[in-house]
Amino acid sequence: MKIEIQDQYIESFKEFLTRKGLRVTNQRMAIFSAAFTCDDHFTAEELLDKSRNLDDSVSRATVYRALPLLTESNLIREVDVGKDYKYYAANKDVKTFQAQVICMDCEKIFEIDAPFMEWYGKTVAEKLLLSVEDQRLQVSARCDQLRSKGECNKVFTK
């Protein structure tokens, strides 16, 4: 069951590549599969590790070259939380706009539905005669629990 769903996404990505006249290589597919089996937000470096589990010939350069394709295909989204490296996440069943709450202590990213953002960004941009391309609403926060008890048992929200 689960495998079929996976396969469907893999098919989508192959189609995307073909449609753009790009080649379906082992490395690209390994990187894509690795990205899609992350339940979590991941960095380029983490993606490299995961990809190498599927195809140990994958190099860092290829991961970085594949990431724009993954985001362009809309199967993966970029999540820039203002650190000096970027996070990514698979677009598995995200329907509405999501805000991010970033725990500065736990290093976790919680995604929260914030449907009003769709409207807000559009309204504000239109007043300036601009068309929205992308938007983000982020809250950086401290984990009181971690700071007082020395540990935190919160779990990721997708």
Partner DNA sequence: CTGCCTGCAAACTCTTTGCACGAAT
Partner DNA sequence: ATTCGTGCAAAGAGTTTGCAGGCAG
Please report whether residue 6 would count as binding DNA according to CB under 7 A.
Answer: no
Q: Which is nearer to a second copy, 70 or 103 (CB)?
A: 103
Please report whether residue 53 would count as binding DNA according to CB under 7 A.
Answer: no
The mark string for 37-76 relative to a second copy (x by CB under 8 A, - otherwise) is: ----------------------------------------
Contacts of 2 (CB under 8 A, 6+ apart): none
Q: Three-state DSSP class for 97?
A: coil
Question: Segment contacting a second copy (CB under 8 A): 26-34, 47-55, 66-74, 141-149?
Answer: 141-149
Interface residue with a second copy among 36, 58, 69, 121 (CB under 8 A) is: 121
The token duo for 125 is 């941009």
Please report whether residue 28 would count as binding DNA according to CB under 7 A.
Answer: yes
Is the Cβ–Cβ distance between 38 and 50 less than 8 Å? Answer: yes
Is the Cβ–Cβ distance between 107 and 81 less than 8 Å? Answer: no
Please report whether residue 141 would count as binding a second copy according to CB under 8 A.
Answer: yes
* Residue 23: Cβ-neighbour burial (10 angstroms; 0-12, 13-18, 19+): exposed
User: Measured between alpha carbons, how far is 107 from 142 in angstroms, rounded to an integer?
Assistant: 10
Interface residue with DNA among 1, 3, 61, 128 (CB under 7 A) is: 61
Question: Which amino acid is located at 131 in the chain?
Answer: S
**64-103 residues near DNA, rule: CB under 7 A:** 64-67, 84-86
Give the dihedral sign, CA 143/117/9/67.
negative
Q: Which residues bind DNA (CB under 7 A)?
A: 18, 21-28, 43-45, 57-62, 64-67, 84-86
Contacts with a second copy, residue ranges (CB under 8 A): 80, 82, 99, 101, 103-104, 110, 112, 117, 120-121, 124-125, 128-145, 154
